[in-house]
Structure 1
Amino acid sequence: MGSNETFNLVHEPWIKCRTAEGNQLLSIRQVFDGSAKPLAVVGDSPTQDYAVLRVLLAIFWRAHYHDFVRRYPSPRSRKKFEWETWFLDTRETLRETGKDEVVLGYLADVENRFDLLDPTVPFMQVADLHTAKNTSNEIRRILPDSEDSYFTMRTGPGRVSISYDEAARWLIHAQAYDYSGIKSGAVGDPRVKGGRGYPIGQGWSGLTGGTVIRGANLLETLVLNTTESCIPTAAETDKPVWEREPDTAAPQDLEATQPKGPADLATWQSRRIRLFTEDGVVTRVLVSNGDRIPNAGLNVFGDPMTPYRFSKNKSKKGFEAYYPRPYDEQRTTWRSLDALVAVDGDPGFSSRELPPKRPENVDNVARILEDREVLDLQIVSMAYGPQSSTYGTIVSSSIGLPVHLLRNSEWSRAVRNDVRNSAEATGRAATAVGAFAGQLYVAAGGEYEFGVDAADRLYAQLEPRFHNWLRGLDPKNMAQEVSSWQHTVREAALGIAQDLLNGAGQKALIGRLLDEDSGGRVINAGTAFQQLKRKLNKELPLTAPQKTMSEEGEGNGERS
């Protein structure tokens, strides 16, 4: 790294953003000075976007924290501060102007820590990081190599070197999401044994379920993801990496590695990294172990953008154990709903099975915004391979949640319960469709095997419809809303079942005799289909055909 080289992220364009004029590379300053008015970060992958957004959030949080301390220097003066007023006023101002003078002033104070190539304090790196044998890796070490379509796949020269702006983005991504496993042993790290750094787990964001409330533009997004714990109630010690003493190859001491809050976690240095440059590009990298998240994230509650799951096994009398909860790789919407909406007191939980803790940013806007607003949520997680030692696939999805669904009131609780029950009924209907596919295998002469593909097909078909249903909920007419959803599910389930019937073949239509020793029963495509309809009647009772008086007398009539 030559002493004359410089690439300061405050001034140099490196953040991929969508603007009204199209996609642009912007500097940090351009994000906040009103010159470009970015709408969103749109980089090389959803996880990269999330990691970069979190750096911008840490800048925003700390700038306004320092401004808050200047304006309200004493505990007495802070009693005059009203969080809700600040939140709404700041949201409106930034949405209209696209400029944040508070952040611009802060950047002037800290910009010296944002030079990617600084010879002594390079951004998110250790300048003299080295191994005993002065080894390093090709730059592709920090470029996620996966079959997932979100990742930028590169071959040949594309993996030999990358530009400074791309290196900055993937450096931030590596600190947030780097996989676990053995690392290069850095000189000066007392944990190194035999030249190796042994696994300490993945980066903090890799443990979490990233939850972003998206606004009309990027600055509004920053406000919407800001909570009281980020500014007025933030700990004085909650500092991002650029406000701390530069890291060395060694981990921070035990006290320092207890996360201090949102800004600390948003820029958590899970790795010690050094970029190597040549002829104006980054060609190689060294990645070694950094700061371990204590106890795999047990009760690390400082991150306002992730849900937390309750651990019954780790809890004991007087101690409730929670871990950050990543979003599920499969059936994301259905398995993530409780983590986004459920609160203490909702049905389905108990003193032994506590509800998840939904993200603090969602809680915050649920208290402040008006009922009619619909939150545009993006959820992001990284799925890893065995032992979290390789990247797997990226989980990324969007969902709209009405604010009225999220409030902590009896009225909202009732609506929320209807929504949760509707999602659970959808799951049971999918199970019924999967079981039907399995019965067709049996009818055709095979062994029973649950039809996972059929169930997943129903989930996938219903997911966008469920999103639309959620966005348009009329909370004053939930009986009709629930009935409408159950009919949507039934129609889709029977449609898939009909497709399966059409492709079942002659053997399944004729069927076979089972359980001959106990009198026998015939199973064929027709009996399996009738069984499916009866199951749907049970799980989606508002869609069950109404029996006539004569059918009631016969006791076994049904119309489809």
Structure 2
Amino acid sequence: MGFDLRDESWIPVRLGGRSMRVGLRELLHRAHEIEDLELPVPPAASGLLRILAAITARVARNDEERLDDMDLAENVRKWRHARDRVLARRCFDASAVDAYLDREVPEGRFDLFGDRPFLQDPRLDKECLDAKGKPNSSGVNKLVFGRPTGVNGAVLFGHFMDTDPVPVSPAEAAWHLIAQLYYGPSGQCTPRRITSVRPGSGDAGPLRKTVSFHPWAPDLFTTLVLSVPVPGGSGAEPDEEDRCPWEMEELLNPLGPLPKVTWPGRLLTGRARHAVLLAPSADHATVTDAFVTWSTHAPAQAASDPYVILDPPKSGDGTRFPRPADGRRALWRDLDALLLKDHDGQSKRPYALENLPRALLPVLRVRAYGFDQDGQQRDSGWFEASTPPVLRWQQEVDERMALYVGQCRQAADEVGGMLEYAARLAWKLATDPGQEDAEKVRLDAKRPGPWRDRALAQYWPVAGLVFWGLVTPERCDTPPHQPFVDAALDALDSAIGAVRADVRTARARSRARRCIRAAIPRSAGR
């Protein structure tokens, strides 16, 4: 008795206006009816979308054409036409779905607890051993993001202890298995002995500390078809040997070279740096333990994830890197990087947002999944957000609106930066008599005062409302700075308040307000 992900109900979705859970088969059979994914763990949803996109490339067909066909993939224009024909079907072919799940993939590969368990390494219970040669597991708390492990783990979503671990359902374990493979930490991990050496450290998951952006349609079928990246654009080329982990005949050799990153399977599902093995209860009703360790120490191969914004290094030279997730940064502040072909001449929008069918752009939103983490062990929090249907403003379609969106975002950031400086300046002037008449005030970065955080906490939510009020075709000739300046002035006044009604504070407030007004370009007037 296992837990077959093809038919067990483990993926939360919204269908017909109500929440329910489905297996892989029902999800694909009814994708055209499903309105949304509802996984409560955004990094798991982000990883699952990549897995589903890879499966979609295998099962999305029009007559004899498959989206992962190598000959078709050699010509991007022909591939896009084939994708349009798949979209015109408005649903997956149920027989193609069943053929893939039941015959093309070896039996048992979608079982969470089988001999070759889904996305797991069955060798770990014999390779992760303690000094006495007994299995040395990592614990279920190590598997589940948000639970503390050791002495430094952050408690995000409940109170748990290593001495009394709480089992999880197979469905929840599957979510966190996926999240670990894509967002797992670097550094110390459960040691794994393959030779006489017993290394106990590993590399970060391929998506760690990033935010992903996905084209989002009114139904899941269209979303999944559009999630299959156009071949050739992420540094991963089509290849007849392209395989997802559950399709491979042999397990990955932890000590050997990595297979080439190929399109679409290995690009989307084959770049994990962690190995995981779940340990179920005797009746397979829960997962009570887990092994979480390294899968390879070979250098990661060059390929760009198709769902991330690529920013240039601050020095201006070197390799672009995925824009990091920031739980304090609202999604609208990345909007221009999703619309402009070459954002600020430097950042590159996600490749998955390129070459979308123009007929669908008026209804397409963008879904973002982010995990605010450092590069090693610390997790701060995750988030999920969606835009309105904004992809109709992509630069190739509506350059005027795309550029204006960029101007509005830039104005908001410029004014926000000036507000931060002004709030620090006001605090310094109000509390340090020696600086009151100084022409150039020296600010201490380590002592910003309380007004900065108060002002920014009020400014950014209001700035979001201002932004969405500005970015309409009817207002795209409106100079954007003044509304943000007004919001910043209100935020500054609110932060300072009336707690200090003395002359020095009044002068500090006045000087800080002048700084904020200076953010308005002279050409726009004051």
Task: Bin the TM-score by the shorter chain.
Answer: 0.7 to 0.9
SS at match of 1:511: helix
- The structure with the largest alpha-carbon Rg is 1
1:102 to 96, 100, 115: 96
Question: Could you tell me which residue of structure 1 aligns to residue 391 of structure 2?
Answer: 403
Question: Could you tell me which residue of structure 1 aligns to residue 83 of structure 2?
Answer: 87
- How far 1:382 sits from its partner (Å)? 2.0
Q: Which amino acid aligns with 1:10?
A: R
Task: Write the distance in 2 (CA, Å) between the matches of 1:88 and 1:53.
Answer: 20
Instruction: After superposing the two structures, state which structure 1 stretch, 136-145 or 490-499, moved more.
Output: 490-499
Q: Which amino acid aligns with 1:218?
A: L
Question: Could you tell me which residue of structure 1 aligns to residue 467 of structure 2?
Answer: 466
- How far 1:64 sits from its partner (Å)? 3.5
Question: Could you tell me which residue of structure 2 aligns to residue 506 of structure 1?
Answer: 501
Q: Which amino acid aligns with 2:358?
A: L
Question: Could you tell me which residue of structure 2 aligns to residue 479 of structure 1?
Answer: 477
Task: Write the distance in 1 (CA, Å) between the matches of 2:191 and 2:369.
Answer: 31
1:300 to 284, 300, 303: 303
SS at match of 1:114: coil
Question: Could you tell me which residue of structure 2 aligns to residue 432 of structure 1?
Answer: 418
Q: Which amino acid aligns with 1:180?
A: S
Task: Write the distance in 2 (CA, Å) between the matches of 1:293 and 1:214.
Answer: 35
Q: Which amino acid aligns with 2:334?
A: S
Task: Write the distance in 1 (CA, Å) between the matches of 2:334 and 2:173.
Answer: 32
- Does the alignment pair 1:489 with 2:475? no
- How far 1:541 sits from its partner (Å)? 5.6
2:208 to 206, 209, 229: 206
Aligned residue runs from structure 1 range 96-495, under 5 A: 97=91, 100-109=94-103, 110=105, 112=107, 113-119=109-115, 121-129=116-124, 130=126, 131-132=128-129, 133=133, 134-145=135-146, 152-153=157-158, 155=160, 159-188=165-194, 190=195, 193=197, 195-199=198-202, 201-206=203-208, 208-229=210-231, 234-247=238-251, 250-251=253-254, 253-256=256-259, 258-268=260-270, 269-280=272-283, 281-291=286-296, 294-295=299-300, 299-301=302-304, 303-311=305-313, 315=317, 321-333=319-331, 336-337=334-335, 339-344=337-342, 348-349=344-345, 355-365=346-356, 368-370=357-359, 373=362, 375-385=364-374, 387-400=375-388, 402-408=390-396, 412=399, 414-446=400-432, 448=443, 449=448, 451-467=452-468, 469-470=470-471, 473-474=472-473, 478-480=476-478, 483=479, 485-495=480-490
SS at match of 1:88: helix
- How far 1:255 sits from its partner (Å)? 4.5
Q: Which amino acid aligns with 2:144?
A: L
Structure 1 gaps of 5+ residues are 350-354, 513-522, 545-560
Q: Which amino acid aligns with 1:393?
A: G
Q: Which amino acid aligns with 2:224?
A: L
Task: Write the distance in 2 (CA, Å) between the matches of 1:527 and 1:323.
Answer: 41
Sequence identity (%): 19
Question: Could you tell me which residue of structure 2 aligns to residue 12 of structure 1?
Answer: 8
Task: Write the distance in 1 (CA, Å) between the matches of 2:276 and 2:525.
Answer: 59
Task: Write the distance in 2 (CA, Å) between the matches of 1:149 and 1:401.
Answer: 36
Task: Write the distance in 1 (CA, Å) between the matches of 2:218 and 2:495.
Answer: 43
TM-score normalised to the size of structure 2? Answer: 0.81
Task: Write the distance in 2 (CA, Å) between the matches of 1:51 and 1:74.
Answer: 24
Whether the 8 Å CA contact 1:30–1:36 is kept in 2: the answer is no
CA deviation vs aligned residue, 1:169-218 (integer Å, no higher than 9, x gap): 21111111111121222232x5x84x33223x211122643111111122
Task: Write the distance in 1 (CA, Å) between the matches of 2:70 and 2:5.
Answer: 34
Q: Which amino acid aligns with 1:172?
A: I
Task: Write the distance in 1 (CA, Å) between the matches of 2:378 and 2:76.
Answer: 50
Whether the 8 Å CA contact 1:371–1:403 is kept in 2: the answer is no
Q: Which amino acid aligns with 1:511?
A: R
SS at match of 1:433: helix
- How far 1:402 sits from its partner (Å)? 2.8
Question: Could you tell me which residue of structure 2 aligns to residue 25 of structure 1?
Answer: 21
Whether the 8 Å CA contact 2:76–2:230 is kept in 1: the answer is no
Task: Write the distance in 1 (CA, Å) between the matches of 2:68 and 2:264.
Answer: 21
- How far 1:479 sits from its partner (Å)? 1.0
Instruction: After superposing the two structures, state which structure 1 stretch, 214-223 or 71-80, moved more.
Output: 71-80
Task: Write the distance in 2 (CA, Å) between the matches of 1:244 and 1:66.
Answer: 26
- How far 1:540 sits from its partner (Å)? 8.1
Whether the 8 Å CA contact 1:163–1:282 is kept in 2: the answer is yes
Instruction: After superposing the two structures, state which structure 1 stretch, 135-144 or 495-504, moved more.
Output: 495-504
Structure 2 gaps of 5+ residues are 436-442
Q: Which amino acid aligns with 1:186?
A: R
Distance 1:72 1:405, change over 3 A: closer
- How far 1:100 sits from its partner (Å)? 4.9
Instruction: After superposing the two structures, state which structure 1 stretch, 458-467 or 269-278, moved more.
Output: 458-467
Question: Could you tell me which residue of structure 2 aligns to residue 44 of structure 1?
Answer: 40
Task: Write the distance in 2 (CA, Å) between the matches of 1:304 and 1:370.
Answer: 22
C-alpha RMSD of the superposition: 3.7
Task: Write the distance in 1 (CA, Å) between the matches of 2:496 and 2:31.
Answer: 60
SS at match of 1:135: coil
Whether the 8 Å CA contact 2:15–2:35 is kept in 1: the answer is yes
Whether the 8 Å CA contact 2:394–2:402 is kept in 1: the answer is yes
- How far 1:35 sits from its partner (Å)? 8.8
Task: Write the distance in 1 (CA, Å) between the matches of 2:465 and 2:355.
Answer: 26
Distance 1:46 1:335, change over 3 A: same
Q: Which amino acid aligns with 1:170?
A: H
Give the number of aligned pairs. Answer: 493
Instruction: After superposing the two structures, state which structure 1 stretch, 282-291 or 150-159, moved more.
Output: 150-159
CA deviation vs aligned residue, 1:354-393 (integer Å, no higher than 9, x gap): x12211111122xx314961531122222224x5123232
TM-score normalised to the size of structure 1? Answer: 0.77
SS at match of 1:524: helix
Whether the 8 Å CA contact 2:14–2:20 is kept in 1: the answer is yes
SS at match of 1:300: coil
CA deviation vs aligned residue, 1:216-258 (integer Å, no higher than 9, x gap): 122221022123218997332332111112425x4263241x4
Task: Write the distance in 2 (CA, Å) between the matches of 1:460 and 1:71.
Answer: 42
Task: Write the distance in 2 (CA, Å) between the matches of 1:425 and 1:260.
Answer: 41
SS at match of 2:208: helix
- How far 1:30 sits from its partner (Å)? 0.5
Higher normalized helix content (fraction of residues): 1
- How far 1:539 sits from its partner (Å)? 4.2
Task: Write the distance in 1 (CA, Å) between the matches of 2:238 and 2:411.
Answer: 41
CA deviation vs aligned residue, 1:100-138 (integer Å, no higher than 9, x gap): 54333212222621111112x111112232323311132
- How far 1:84 sits from its partner (Å)? 3.5
